[in-house]
Amino acid sequence: MAGKHSQRRERSSPTKSRVRAGATRFQPLGFVLVEFALERPDVRESATLQLKAGTMPSQTITIAVASSNEQILATRDVMLQLRPSLPSQEYLPTVRRMMQADGYRLVALYEKGAVRAVAGFRYMEMLYCGKVLYVDDLNTDEAYRSRGFGKTLLDWLKTEARANGCTQLHLDSGVQRERTHRFYFREGLTIPAYHFRCAL
């Protein structure tokens, strides 16, 4: 499917691309420019993402993995909108601990240099479904919702999952988040099981 789309783009419109620091910039006519990089265990691989004109602001959108303390802290305000029970001062040490112990990864979508959406994820392998990308957290700044940022980041996560050999993307979402569930259904996610828990 991707190959077909690529060939169609080449025939229908000229493109301008430039590789820099492991990221690709790509802007076919009638589309919004998006820049991001795929993280893989063995190699950093560049990739591109198209968004139809009119679905995103005209500014350049950048998606980047947050690995330094400064980058992690830049995601804090948007992430804590989703996780308000986590004390602000505990955010950095908690993320660092999860990265070191559990392979947690953090990625941010920037517009005009400001974080508009964030996602936390990790890779898991289970007997019943094989290797999956599990999304711990996915949130768009509440002041910038309904502008396509969440979809863009989810599309990045799907691309990242495929590039790393995953057959599925998984996430949990609170039962009270009905508006978010409508978004997930639109993006092709389904509910195949219940998630059970108990306090200990």
**Rg of the chain, C-alpha, whole Å:** 17
Lowest mean pLDDT among 23-32, 137-146, 181-190: 23-32
**Residue 64: which H helix or E strand, with range?**
strand 61-65
CA angle 111, 112, 118 (to 5 degrees): 30
How confident is the prediction for the chain on average, in pLDDT? 79
DSSP-assigned letters across all residues of 162-193: HHTT-SEEEE---TT-HHHHHHHHHTT----S
pLDDT digits (tens, 9 = 90+) for 74-83: 999 999 999 9
Q: What whole-number percentage of the chain has pLDDT above 70? A: 70
What are the residue boundaries of the structural domains of the chain, listed by start? Answer: 2-186
Q: Can you give the pTM of this predicted structure?
A: 0.72
Asked whether the beta carbons of 164 and 115 are under 8 A apart, the reply is no
The domain 2-186 having CATH identifier 3.40.50.720: the answer here is no
Position 133 confidence tier, pLDDT thresholds 50, 70, 90: very high
pLDDT digits (tens, 9 = 90+) for 10-53: 444 333 333 333 343 333 333 344 444 444 444 333 333 444 33
Give residue 110's pLDDT.
97
Give residue 59's pLDDT.
60
Give residue 182's pLDDT.
93
Give residue 60's pLDDT.
86
Give residue 50's pLDDT.
41
Is a pLDDT exceeding 70 seen at residue 143?
Answer: yes
Lowest mean pLDDT among 13-27, 102-116, 176-190: 13-27
Nearest to 88 by CA among 96, 100, 80, 99: 80
Give residue 190's pLDDT.
94
Output 128 or 41, whichever has higher pLDDT: 128
The CA distance from 65 to 29, in Å, is 27
Output 99 or 177, whichever has higher pLDDT: 99
Asked whether the beta carbons of 63 and 34 are under 8 A apart, the reply is yes
